[in-house]
Amino acid sequence: MDEKFAGLFKESKIFADREVLSPHYVPSHLLFRDKQIEDIIKALTPSLKGERGRNLFIFGKTGTGKTSCIKHVVDEVKKLPVVKAKISYVNCRIYNSRYRTLSKIVSDHLPFLSKRGYGLVEIYEKIINWIEEDGKVLIVVLDEVDIVKDLDDLIYTLTRANSDLRSGGITIIGISNKTNFKESLDSRSISTLYERELVFAPYNSNELAAILKDRAEKGFRKGIIGPETLNLAAAIAAKESGDARLALKIISRAGEIAEEEGKNSVTETEVNAAQKDAEEEIAYEVISTLPEHQKLVLYSVSLLSLQGSRYKKLTDGNDMYIFSGEVYNKYTRVSEALTKEPKSSRWYRKYIADLEMQGLITTYESGKGIRGHTKLIKLTYPAEKIKETIEKSMFLEGEAKGNTAKTPAGSS
């Protein structure tokens, strides 16, 4: 065997089970989320009994345990002997339209129909007939619901189905990182929701440290990582956002660094080295799932940061700030180049606020004296990497789907 490949099969001296350190791993017991799990179960109880319940929308920043709690509840429900409900878990990053979501439901429960090439109306009727067969309740979990492109149509279709059903019903569980995502829905969709809300608060430093300790005991070999190192990773994540996903990525990457350098332990040195990699990895994951026009606004900021602007940019050491009005003008031109209708300045201001909430940009008011009173914008991460991420997730994806629109002229 070539020596270059021999190392691939060696047993790791650092890791016992890498999967346990993954943000996607769902432990049997979720620390500090008993109350939230109880609230989810209470909300679902009518549906599980075969009654039409209220819809539930779960909000909270990334890494606060929303998806893990839902998956935990779904797994436990499937173990119950008598349940008058069926569940479809839909990852809206993948099933990001009304048609794809309804197709996923058919695939889950009527697989013999899933490859027949039915149209939207036919799929809807198949689901309605299936529910009416025995008056069951369908629980549809829409994870990262705000990513769905035709969200109004999807929400309206699922909620109005209850009016078409002679027996049984549909209950929606929506999960979103954005507490204000419903503001983008039109009034007809909001009026049909009849929902309750559950908010997940970020983890604090002590909670993150306990979560990391629990995962590290299974994920690392004994004695590889100590409490001081775990506390540092927890403190970094707590300071940034209270994001358990970030904390896990930091210690996992720190373990990789230690392994690459042939070390026998993971220390604070490796954690500090891993911090930037972990933060950027999560940031680029967030960018790839932004709604279309938020991507275009962020793309415009990255272009101006790389290309320069008509006006003199303000600098603070290595930091560069760009005028908000100039970003809006650039966003308008980029949208038009892609044959997309630019949103109004009111929506643009909302997008800027959302991008700042996601930690992708920072803004501050200039005060008087700089072209009047205006907002200044700065990227949090490297402009070139942001530009490349958006081009990969948006423009290349569009071409793959048959959209002939190319990267806007002048974007390189």
Structure-token pair, residue 130: 């299936």
Is the domain of 137 the same as that of 190?
Answer: yes
pLDDT of 64 higher than 60: yes
pLDDT of 408 higher than 80: no
pLDDT of 411 higher than 60: no
pLDDT band at 369 (very low <50, low <70, confident <90, very high): low
388 falls within a domain: yes
Span 16-24, average pLDDT: 95
Is the domain of 230 the same as that of 274?
Answer: yes
Cβ-Cβ contacts under 8 Å for 58 (sequence gap 6 or more): 40, 66, 69, 70, 173, 174, 175, 176, 197, 198, 199, 200
253 falls within a domain: yes
Q: What is the pLDDT of residues 34-63, one digit of tens each?
A: 999 999 999 999 999 999 888 999 999 889
Specify the amino acid at residue 79. K
Span 1-17, average pLDDT: 76
pLDDT of 33 higher than 60: yes
Structure-token pair, residue 211: 């979560």
Single out the residue in 253, 272, 287 at which a domain terminates.
287
Residue-level pLDDT at 283: 87
Is the domain of 224 the same as that of 191?
Answer: no
Single out the residue in 287, 313, 332 at which a domain terminates.
287
CA dihedral 342, 344, 345, 350 (to 10 degrees): -90
161 falls within a domain: yes
pLDDT band at 181 (very low <50, low <70, confident <90, very high): confident
Is the domain of 190 the same as that of 326?
Answer: no
Q: What is the pLDDT of residues 190-240, one digit of tens each?
A: 877 878 999 999 999 999 999 999 999 999 999 999 999 999 999 999 997
Cα 333 to its chain centre, rounded Å, is 28
Reported as type and span, the H/E element at residue 223 is none
409 falls within a domain: no
Structure-token pair, residue 263: 């070390």
Cβ-Cβ contacts under 8 Å for 103 (sequence gap 6 or more): 95, 114, 123
pLDDT of 306 higher than 80: yes
Residue-level pLDDT at 291: 84
CA dihedral 337, 339, 344, 345 (to 10 degrees): -10
DSSP 59: E
Residue-level pLDDT at 402: 43
pLDDT band at 403 (very low <50, low <70, confident <90, very high): very low
Reported as type and span, the H/E element at residue 369 is none
Residue-level pLDDT at 399: 42
Residue-level pLDDT at 371: 55
Q: What is the pLDDT of residues 137-161, one digit of tens each?
A: 999 999 999 889 899 999 999 999 9
Is the domain of 238 the same as that of 297?
Answer: no
Residue-level pLDDT at 224: 97
CA 183/CA 190 separation, integer angstroms: 9
6 falls within a domain: no
Is the domain of 169 the same as that of 54?
Answer: yes
Residue-level pLDDT at 189: 78
Angle of helix 244-260 relative to helix 268-288, nearest 10 degrees, comes to: 130
- Which CATH number characterizes residue 57's domain? 3.40.50.300
Span 379-405, average pLDDT: 73
Single out the residue in 287, 311, 342 at which a domain terminates.
287
Is the domain of 106 the same as that of 155?
Answer: yes
Residue-level pLDDT at 300: 96
- Which CATH number characterizes residue 233's domain? 1.10.8.60
Is the domain of 226 the same as that of 316?
Answer: no
CA 314/CA 324 separation, integer angstroms: 12
Q: What is the pLDDT of residues 255-298, one digit of tens each?
A: 999 999 999 999 999 999 999 999 888 888 889 888 889 999 99
DSSP 18: G
Is the domain of 185 the same as that of 49?
Answer: yes
pLDDT of 310 higher than 80: no
Is the domain of 17 the same as that of 91?
Answer: no
CA 53/CA 47 separation, integer angstroms: 5
Q: What range defines the domain where residue 223 resides?
A: 13-21+204-287
CA 109/CA 134 separation, integer angstroms: 14
405 falls within a domain: no
134 falls within a domain: yes
Domain count, the chain: 3
Pick left, alpha or beta for residue 323 (phi over 0 → left; psi -120 to 50 → alpha; otherwise beta).
beta
Q: What is the mean pLDDT of the chain?
A: 88
Query: Per DSSP, what are the bridge partners of residue 37?
Result: none
Is the domain of 54 the same as that of 147?
Answer: yes
Structure-token pair, residue 274: 């891993």
Is the domain of 325 the same as that of 382?
Answer: yes
Residue-level pLDDT at 392: 86
- Which CATH number characterizes residue 343's domain? 1.10.10.10
- In this structure, are residues 287 and 295 in contact, taking their beta carbons and an 8 Å threshold? yes
Structure-token pair, residue 357: 């909430």
5 falls within a domain: no
CA 290/CA 295 separation, integer angstroms: 6
Would the CA dihedral through 228, 232, 234, 238 be positive or negative?
A: positive
